């Protein structure tokens, strides 16, 4: 208890005493804050942390580097150049043999050494919605003529429905972002990424504007926009 009191009294984070940070955390608004002008509660919380009224510029929204996103997914970063994102399938690295793991690592190494683009690999996980997939299974089941096959399909669909209803299923997604000085260089870099994916036997696709918007949205709120599996 004494050590906690000393830490609260003497400790500091970024020049602010820990007791002020703890007090502000307790009083912080428990509601989503949209981008734009900060609300009154946020300004009050900031004032409690820094101990004075914040300057108007201290609560202004943060402007990112993105200037525009084309329909095909090409991202205009202004002076920073251009970028694009590629969705890559994944493999279970742990289940591969030593030789196969070496091949996978070598493929990624060749990509990173051969491209002039800045490469960022983003791994994300979010809930998955299998309702459309279950509906398609029901349609395919009704088209089966063989009674045994129909029974097996029905049992599989019932089991999958029970799994969906009893636990939260998650989907892992891998996004590779490449950035270059020109749009042509970005297109070439995306082709390099997709060639690497094809070489290791996984699928890939270039994300268009709607796909990018969805990924940014669930990156901010991963449990608010479940992925759909057809």
Q: How many CB atoms lie within 10 A of CB 214?
A: 14
| pLDDT tens per residue across span 146-182 | 888 888 988 988 888 888 887 777 778 899 999 999 9
- Going along the chain from its start, the domains and CATH numbers come out as 2-59 (no CATH), 68-130+169-228 (3.30.70), 132-163 (no CATH)
Compute the average pLDDT of residues 99-127: 89
Q: Kindly list the distances between the CA atom of residue 67 and the CA atoms of 54, 164, 183, in Å, as whole numbers in the listed order.
A: 29, 40, 14
Positive or negative, the Cα torsion across 134, 136, 138, 141?
negative
The strand ranges marked E within the chain are 12-13, 16-17, 68-69, 75-76, 82-88, 118-129, 170-180, 204-206, 227-228
Q: Which 3-state string (H, E, C) describes 59-90?
A: HCCCCCCCCEECCCCCEECHHHCEEEEEEECC
| pLDDT tens per residue across span 44-62 | 666 666 666 656 555 566 6
The percent helix, strand, coil of the chain (3-state, each to 5) is 50, 20, 30
**CB 36, CB 61: distance < 8 Å:** yes
| pLDDT tens per residue across span 24-37 | 666 655 555 555 55
| pLDDT tens per residue across span 181-228 | 999 999 999 999 999 999 988 999 999 999 888 888 877 766 665 555
């Amino acid at each position: 208890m004494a050590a906690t009191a000393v830490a609260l009294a003497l400790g500091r984070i970024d020049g602010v005493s820990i007791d002020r940070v703890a007090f502000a955390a307790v009083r912080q608004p428990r509601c989503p804050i949209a981008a734009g002008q900060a609300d009154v509660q946020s300004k009050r919380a900031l004032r409690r942390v820094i101990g004075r009224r914040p300057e108007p510029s201290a609560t202004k929204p943060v402007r990112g580097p993105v200037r525009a996103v084309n329909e095909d997914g090409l991202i205009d970063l202004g002076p920073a150049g251009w970028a694009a994102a590629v969705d890559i399938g994944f493999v279970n690295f742990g289940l591969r043999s030593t030789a196969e793991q070496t091949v996978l690592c070598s493929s990624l190494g060749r990509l990173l050494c051969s491209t002039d683009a800045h490469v960022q690999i983003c791994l994300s996980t979010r809930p998955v919605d299998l309702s459309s997939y279950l509906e398609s299974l029901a349609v395919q089941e009704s088209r089966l003529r063989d009674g045994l096959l129909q029974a097996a399909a029905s049992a599989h669909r019932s089991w999958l429905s029970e799994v969906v209803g009893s636990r939260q299923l998650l989907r892992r997604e891998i996004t590779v972002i490449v950035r270059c000085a020109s749009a042509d260089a970005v297109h070439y870099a995306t082709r390099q990424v997709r060639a690497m994916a094809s070489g290791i036997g996984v699928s890939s696709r270039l994300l268009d504007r709607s796909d990018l918007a969805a990924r940014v949205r669930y990156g901010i709120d991963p449990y608010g926009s479940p992925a759909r599996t057809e």
